[in-house]
Amino acid sequence: MQRLADLRDELEPWVVLERRLADALELAALGDESLADELNAEAETIEKQLEKREFLLLFSGPYDRNDAFLAIHAGAGGTDAQDFAEMLLRMYLRWAESHGYKTDLVDRLYGEEAGIKRATVAVSGPYAYGYLRAERGVHRLVRLSPFDAAHRRHTSFALVEVWPDLPETASVQINPDDLKIETFRSSSAGGQHMQKNETAVRITHLPTGIVVTCQNERSQTQNRETALRVLRARLMEIEEQKRQRELAELKGKHVEAAWGNQIRSYVLHPYQLVKDHRTGYETGNTQAVLDGELDGFMETYLRSTIG
């Protein structure tokens, strides 16, 4: 039934587009010049809608329509890397907001001085995973460090991981005996406790060593359920790798967040440039990108992988 509903949702915009085109052709056949401006405007709208629908056809993967989990890890670069990780978190939250996606911060571990060491976000909306899978990999930042007393130029790195959020009916079996579940108090920046009760949950999957933490829900039960969702997604990733015998089809090959591995560079000094090294797509409007304008990068990458 869910698959049927998804197909109906996918087909309906095409039916509407076909109807609008037929109506426009009927008006054009009348030969009334007073309708020229209206028809031109309608033609532009139909063309834009057609381009959008054609682009969505690129999302042919089994999980592209799914919600997604996005994780950010500070890499090489010390405090600068942790600050960069927080900049990326803000960037993706802004991107999701601009697309009407719902976001839930599943986990966040603050750095000692600034920024974050890691964060995991649940992103809910149509094709969330399809879009965000373009972002997995190492990101590099070059700038004058605000944490260097001499204000020298520093390079720092962060790793972005993306997994599809899978339904409970997915073919992933989790044996309760394979889980080590711990609870602790969730904390905020500066080490201050957000709650007096131990609501945060850490789940270790003993056979694989995968550790998942969730501390942003109000109750221990909610945190446990969310952590299990993340674990299920990561285990599915492993199963996908085994079946297809490829390196990380869903998340991409695990690489160190350091020199030589970056998929994208954000240069703020000595010039302004954001460049994707996989596709060559670039822009000098660095602030717009850090404010969440990522569609150009995502779409160029997705077209290159399909084409």
- Helices marked H in the chain — which ranges? 2-29, 36-56, 78-98, 128-132, 220-244, 286-290, 295-306
pTM of the model: 0.78
Q: Over 50: is that where the pLDDT of 192 sits?
A: no
Q: Over 70: is that where the pLDDT of 250 sits?
A: no
Q: How far apart, in whole angstroms, are the C-alpha atoms of residue 126 and residue 96?
A: 11
Whole-number pLDDT of residue 248: 46
Q: How far apart, in whole angstroms, are the C-alpha atoms of residue 13 and residue 295?
A: 21
**10-14, 21-25, 250-254: range with highest mean pLDDT:** 21-25
Q: How far apart, in whole angstroms, are the C-alpha atoms of residue 57 and residue 65?
A: 11
* Average pLDDT value for residue range 165-174: 73
> Per residue in 64-83, pLDDT tens?
989 999 999 999 999 999 99
> Per residue in 224-249, pLDDT tens?
889 988 998 888 877 776 765 544 45
Q: What are the angstrom distances between the C-alpha of 111 and each of 83, 94, 118, 222, 301? A: 8, 22, 9, 25, 31
